[in-house]
Amino acid sequence: MEESLDPVLWGVLSTARIGTERVIPAMASSELSRVVAIASRDPERAAEAKVALGLERAYGSYEEMLADPEIEAVYNPLPNHLHLEWTVAAAEAGKHVLCEKPLAMSSAEARTMIESCERAGVKLMEAFMYRLHPLWTETKRIVDEGEIGELQAIQVAFSYFNDDPTNIRNIPEVGGGALYDIGCYAISASRFLFGSEPTQVKAVLRRDVSLGTDVVTGGLLDFDGRIAGFVCSTQAEPDQRVDVYGTKGRLTVEIPFNIPPDRVTRILRFAGGTPPTDPHVVVHEIAPADQYALQADAFSRAIRNDTPVPTPVEDAVANLEVIEAIFADATG
């Protein structure tokens, strides 16, 4: 634990799998974050999660947990359509909020969340955990320091297969669909590496007739003549990759988003040689790290030191504005 900094006491809204299987276990190993409570609208599920995760408290409603005066910060992994309601409720209860991506269903909702948190004097951050992993800080450094020349293009692919009609990712009313769930990563990563906002977008998508969600979406983002392209799908072979092209080299970021906490990850830097058959390759190996623990501690550190959160919440608004532009162009 960092000297002189006490751990922030956290509560988790809902027993969503992202929380119980990834975020809460990761936070158990963090330095500045301690999950003490979990809440569910089903008291039995909350009690079961409490025992399984070794937590101190279980609440049978979100309101009960938000009323706990000892809880300082809340992790909100609720379905997208509930982000606004319960982030605002948490802020009004005086809790800092780490909210799953996308921050809201629209940029307008996100601005309302920001205003509520500012009024309450609490911090708010979107949980794009990948940006805090050393894999991405190193990728950003390589690009910014010109090791592949001038950045020209980015290509992102992200997919998995899930056609279960009862799964929230396949229900449009709650914010399901490929673009909201995984396309948002492609947009975020592209904006992160270019360090700017796209000036225009072009997009196509296909909706599943029975589900109503977009199951294949592709987009082109124009960053003043530099291009980011992506495809995301919820009905395709699972995969994820990021390729970055510069004037003097290119990068492949392996396992860019669901980064394993227990294995070395790699950035492959290609430059020179005899491409494409025999290019020169430099491998950047990144030591294992848990991006969820890093995210929790970075947020907790900002709380304890009263400093800005590592990813400004305005970034979430900008990402949602691009999502909205993609939907508008694809359905236009």
Give per-residue pLDDT as tens, 248-264: 999 999 999 999 999 99
Sheet bearing 57-59, strands edge to edge: 57-59, 33-39, 8-13, 73-76, 96-99, 124-126
| pLDDT of residue 3 exceeding 60 | no
Residue 65: CA atoms inside 13 Å, Cβ hemisphere, count?
A: 32
| pLDDT of residue 276 exceeding 90 | no
Per-residue pLDDT reduced to its tens digit, 19-69? 899 999 999 889 999 999 999 999 999 999 999 999 999 999 999 999 999
Task: Give CA–CA dist 98/30, Å, rounded.
Answer: 15
Tokens 């929230």 belong to 168
| Residue-level pLDDT at 331 | 86
**pTM of the predicted model as reported, rounded to 2 decimal places:** 0.95
* Helix then strand then coil, % of the chain, to nearest 5: 40, 30, 30
Contacts of 171 (CB under 8 A, 6+ apart): 165, 211, 213
- Residues 164-185 have a mean pLDDT of 97
- Residues 203-226 have a mean pLDDT of 98
Residue 297 burial (CB < 10 Å; 0-12/13-18/19+)? buried
pLDDT band at 4 (very low <50, low <70, confident <90, very high): confident
Instruction: List the beta bridge partners of residue 229.
Output: 155, 220
